[in-house]
Chain A
Amino acid sequence: MMTMVDLNGLKAKALEEMESEGTLRVVVGMATCGQSAGARRVMETLKKDVAELGLDNVNVAVTGCVGMCTYEPILEVLETGKKKVTYIRMDPEKTARVVKEHLQGGKPVLDYTVGHDHAGNLKNLEDLQFYAKQERIVLRNCGTIDPENIHEYIARDGYAALRKALLEMTPETVIDEMKKSGLRGRGGAGFPTGLKWGFAAPNKADQKYIICNADEGDPGAFMDRSVLEGDPHAILEAMAIGGYAIGASKGYIYVRAEYPVAVERLKIAIGQAQQMGLLGRKIFGTDFSFDIEIRLGAGAFVCGEETALIASIEGKRGMSRNKPPFPAHKGLWGKPTVINNVETLANVAQIILKGADWFRSFGTEKSPGTKVFALGGKINNTGLVEVPMGITLREVIYDIGSGCPHGKAFKAVQTGGPSGGCITAADLDTPIDFDNLVAIGSMMGSGGMIVMDEDNCMVDIARFFLDFTVDESCGKCTPCREGTKRMLEILDRIVAGEGTMQDLENLEDLAENIRLTSLCALGQTAPNPVMSTMKHFRDEYLAHVQDKKCPAGVCKALLGYVITADCKGCTKCKRVCPVEAITGEVKQLHVIDQALCIRCGACFNVCSFNAIARN
């Protein structure tokens, strides 16, 4: 059984292993994104070469996502008393050179680092603009510790919050602390976590449950995956604290089956925690017992909705039901249940350990703390960023993300996934928090932030999201099942150039009805992408309907390519055309036969003289 002394001793021992004098700690980011960028081969080379050269002072470890996707695979070398060295875009050859010159020879390989500052000092990831405005609470261990090694988590104060809660606090004071912290659910709706726990705690039942919602379905959001892959123990610890607070002895983690690495690391983490007595019976010698089981999703977006998620764990079709009764009263198998999102839980241990006031020192009055965003789409620095609430969208997109690539003009940023909306340049100075984003017609959602540039057609994007909701509707209530389908049909007509002005009116009518009458949040928010694009980009809708044109040049049915007088007759376009629709002799103006053209855009992409116009 684990005691206080044990935890302190373990921490000291783990710290010594990680940071002892003369030891080089080499970590490779091995989250899903790192692995697919080639981190596994980097790791193999690293291990092999270190062993071959007999470098006993080198300690190689796997770690989670550092957050800077564009630079993957990332390898970092840490040495006590020295500045961390970051190597980016690694491959086996580069790794071999780093092992030889840096790990053995002691000289960092400058070619593969992120560069120097003006004084010639080597820069590492933390010196980059990308990290300057970030504040790491949720991601504090991601990219730092080995997620498969509980000792490294303990070295970073792991399980100290659970110990504090169990030995120094009552369930009531835990809930009070959570209420005071003002932490709001990071899954999308922003409901205060302390209140949720407070609802479930007084309900008497022979069994209560706490569920971690890791069914991260929003396309474009991957912070939950990153936390599970980079810091799984933080979630286990938080669930145990939550279990203590509400009186639950059993927890479930409902995780997407699309995340095999996360599932594997969770299994390892649960096994380690059980073995050390941090999960199981009589934790820290108290009367509190708690265990966790993993349940896999099977590819249904609606299971992110809490009542649908409960149905899914119960082994039924994932369909939502009416609330009340709320899960806090009647949840899993009719018992009081609390459901928290991964990112929400990742804050809990830190709040208990450092206090609500510390947490409130980040973010805004109504939305304290930080938020993790998955910055993606047409942006230079794709990645995972954790910023204090209240930062402006402009800072995130330009200062951290460094704007749109290839000098293209920013058009909109989409937040909140299929439930959210588009935000235009006019609102970029809005401070980000739960309430402000709703006020400008979008929502926080789970934190996907997809940037779009001038080449994205907003009608097409609206149709993309609606197609998603149509496919993912569980089919229980009519407005969502039938209504979204009718909206999609209208949008299909519009992008095909067959839309009418009446269609636009019908879209708005349908949207309003679906919003007001759907059973769960999936349906209620499904029209949002259409409503927000219609509000901000009405001219694009009108161009599709009235002029039969797609200004961004995306909707194929509305496109046409013509060759302008700038044509030098290089024949490049003629050779690339798959249907031989282009005719013309060398050094003569070429012509596209509109009847044959399939509008694939191949000629447009290859022309070196900008002589092909799209209309």
Chain B
Amino acid sequence: MPEDPEVNQNRFGTGVGNNTQRRLGNVNDQSKCACSCGCITAEDPRFAELKSYIDSLNQEQGITMPVLQEAQRSFGYLPLEVQKFISENTGVPLAEIYGVATFYSQFAIEPKGRHHIGVCMGTACYVKGSQKVLDKLVEELKVKVGCTTSDGKFTLEATRCLGCCGLAPCIMIDDDVFGKLDDVSRIPDILGKYE
């Protein structure tokens, strides 16, 4: 099933393509730490936090999504050991956890940069030139869409409509929206604000 990412590129060049055909990733590699933030070990205190979050949900029905969201918030992504941990503590089969984690675009099974840049590809932004904004970011960050810069600082993604159509074209860095970027020369300054 995994396709050559170059072949499977969608028009934003994200290489992620269809939700159904999202690359499965190399599961074996997930156990090793590829990022620079330190390995996630079994002793990681975040596991205990996650456990108490799961316990606080009191065996409610349908807790898979909230638990995955909490795990993603805490770990930054959902490596295999985290998915296994969730499976063991919720009783939901690992296959199902993995299925959900790979279905929704907000879950990541690979580590992300310290800052997340989402370029709005909603209709209003698109007709007002968001492709140029995306191109400029690709050029500035020297990174492909959907990837993380080599220093682990930024992850660049094309996102769905951010709902700020009055500010088109716009981008979102972490939780901040920057709008009216018709003049793409403003972009380096905006990036410069982030450490």
Contact = CB atoms under 8 A, between A and B. Distances in A.
Interface of A: 32-33, 35-37, 69-70, 72, 216-222, 225, 257-260, 295-301, 312-318, 333, 374, 376-378, 382-383, 414, 417, 448, 450, 452, 456, 461, 463-465, 467, 470-475, 481, 485, 492
Contacts of B168: 376-377, 382
The 5 residue pairs across chains A and B that have the minimum distance between CB atoms: A69-B166, A475-B20, A315-B64, A36-B177, A298-B104
A277 to B, nearest CB: 23
B123 A414 contact: yes
Given A259-B163, A297-B104, 6 more contacts: A36-B178, A221-B163, A316-B96, A377-B124, A377-B168, A475-B21
A216 B62 contact: no
A376 B69 CA distance: 32
Residue among B20, B66, B106, B166 having the largest count of chain A Cβ atoms under 10 Å: B166
B99 A452 contact: no
Contact of A35 (B11, B21, B96, B177): B177
Contacts of B96: 316
Given A33-B167, A222-B164, A222-B165, A481 B20 contact: yes
Contact of B105 (A299, A317, A485): A299
Contact of A376 (B21, B123, B176): B123
B166 A417 contact: no
Interface stretch (B28-36, B44-52, B154-162, B186-194): B154-162
B104 A296 contact: no
A417 B123 contact: yes
Contact of B61 (A35, A219, A333, A378): A333
B53 interface: no
A604 to B, nearest CB: 13
B163 A315 contact: no
A258 B163 contact: yes
B162 to A, nearest CB: 6
Interface string B1-28: 0000000001110001111110000000
Nearest to B17: A471
A456 B127 contact: yes
Contact of A219 (B17, B122, B176): B122
Interface in B54-104: 61-66, 68-69, 92, 96, 99-100, 103-104
29 contacts: A32-B162, A32-B163, A32-B177, A36-B164, A36-B178, A36-B179, A37-B167, A217-B160, A220-B123, A257-B106, A258-B159, A260-B175, A300-B103, A312-B65, A314-B62, A315-B65, A315-B92, A316-B96, A317-B103, A318-B103, A318-B104, A374-B124, A376-B124, A376-B168, A467-B10, A471-B10, A471-B18, A475-B19, A475-B20
Nearest to A226: B163
A219 B175 CA distance: 19
B128 interface: yes
A349 B64 CA distance: 33
Nearest to A333: B61
A414 B123 CA distance: 9
Residue among A32, A315, A481 having the largest count of chain B Cβ atoms under 10 Å: A315
Contacts of A295: 62, 65-66
Nearest to B164: A33
> Chain A at the B interface: mostly helix, strand, loop or mixed?
mixed
B127 A377 contact: yes
A63 to B, nearest CB: 16
Nearest to A492: B11
A312 B160 CA distance: 18
A106 B45 CA distance: 57
A36 B125 CA distance: 15
A370 to B, nearest CB: 20
Contact of A374 (B165, B176, B177, B179): B165
Nearest to A470: B18
A217 B121 CA distance: 12
A220 B164 contact: no
A37 B164 CA distance: 10
Contacts of A217: 160-161
Contacts of A258: 159-160, 162-163
A369 to B, nearest CB: 23
A414 B165 CA distance: 14
Residue among B123, B164, B178 having the largest count of chain A Cβ atoms under 10 Å: B123
Given A69-B167, A317-B99, A300 B19 contact: yes
B36 to A, nearest CB: 26
Contacts of B107: 298
A313 B62 contact: yes
A112 B18 CA distance: 48
Contact of B127 (A32, A301, A314, A450): A450
Nearest to B127: A377
A298 B70 CA distance: 12
B90 to A, nearest CB: 9
A77 B128 CA distance: 33
Interface string B102-117: 0111110000000000
A300 B19 CA distance: 9
A296 B105 contact: no
Nearest to A220: B123
A134 to B, nearest CB: 16
B165 A376 contact: yes
A5 to B, nearest CB: 36
A474 B19 contact: yes
A142 B46 CA distance: 40
A502 B175 CA distance: 47
B186 to A, nearest CB: 14
A571 B41 CA distance: 61
Contact of A220 (B103, B122, B177, B178): B122
B145 interface: no
Contacts of B66: 295-296
Nearest to B60: A293
Contacts of B16: 471
Contacts of A260: 175
B166 A72 contact: yes
A450 B123 contact: yes
Contacts of B12: 467
B1 to A, nearest CB: 12
Contacts of B63: 315
A383 to B, nearest CB: 6
Contacts of B11: 463-464, 467, 492
B59 to A, nearest CB: 13
B176 A36 contact: yes
Given A378-B128, A474-B19, A298 B163 contact: no
Contacts of A376: 123-124, 165-166, 168
A239 to B, nearest CB: 18
B170 interface: yes
Contacts of A37: 167, 179
B124 A220 contact: yes
A481 B10 CA distance: 14
Contacts of A472: 19
Nearest to A472: B19
B20 A300 contact: no
B46 to A, nearest CB: 20
A314 B122 contact: no
B18 A382 contact: no
